[in-house]
Amino acid sequence: MKSAVLSFVVGFIFAVGLGISGMTQPTKVVGFLDLFGDWDPSLMFVMVGAIGVHFVSFRFIRKLPTPLVEKQWHLPSKTELTPSLIIGAVLFGMGWALGGYCPGPAVSSLGSLDPRPFYFVLSMLAGMVIFKGVNGLFKFNR
């Protein structure tokens, strides 16, 4: 239960970072992806800041035998490049450009009580459920 409470803390801090960074403003996201138009490079620095911190911290944290609260590591182990990975990333990129939201900023924007993130998040959940249904039939992932 302690780990679940700490997840809440992580989610809260994550949302604060997203808000400060500009990721919760869809027009900024589209401006960042508009490389061949009126490009706004600012969101590139979100990646620089986030990876800059985590690239270093990851190496220190992974030296620990276990995490501090959970008893074991839960890290992804897959290494192969699959058609699912590529096609999924293409579809995600299209949706990100169309809505100006990726999952984190969309969910934290629910806190603004604007109806637009609600429409986006509800349909994102629907997209995930549809995937589960389709994947159950064809097993093209996992």
Partner 1 sequence: MIHIDWVYALVGGAIIGLSVSLMLLWNGRVTGISGIIGGALSYSVGDFAWRVLFVLGLVSGGLALSFFHPVMFTGTLDTSTWTLVAAGLLVGFGTSLGSGCTSGHGVCGISRLSPRSLVATIVFMVAGIASVVAFRALGVFS
Write out the binding residues for partner 1, residues 86-125 only, by CB under 8 A: 86-104, 106-114, 116, 119-125
**Cβ closest to partner 1, residue 35 vs residue 137:** 35
What is the rounded CA–CA span in Å between residue 107 and residue 117? 7
**Side-chain-side CA neighbours of residue 80 (13 Å):** 5
Please select the residue that binds partner 1; options are 3, 63, 137, 139, rule is CB under 8 A. 3
Could you tell me the maximum CA-CA distance found in the chain, to the nearest angstrom? 49
**Cβ closest to partner 1, residue 66 vs residue 137:** 66
What is the rounded CA–CA span in Å between residue 111 and residue 12? 11
Beta carbon of residue 137, minimum distance to partner 1 (angstroms, whole number): 14
Site for partner 1 in 25-84 (CB under 8 A): 25-28, 30, 33-37, 40-55, 57-58, 61-62, 64, 66-70, 72-76, 78-81, 84
Beta carbon of residue 56, minimum distance to partner 1 (angstroms, whole number): 9
Q: Please calculate the CA angle 135-139-142 and round it to the nearest 5 degrees.
A: 95
Beta carbon of residue 120, minimum distance to partner 1 (angstroms, whole number): 4
Q: Note whether 137 and 130 are within 8 A (CB).
A: no
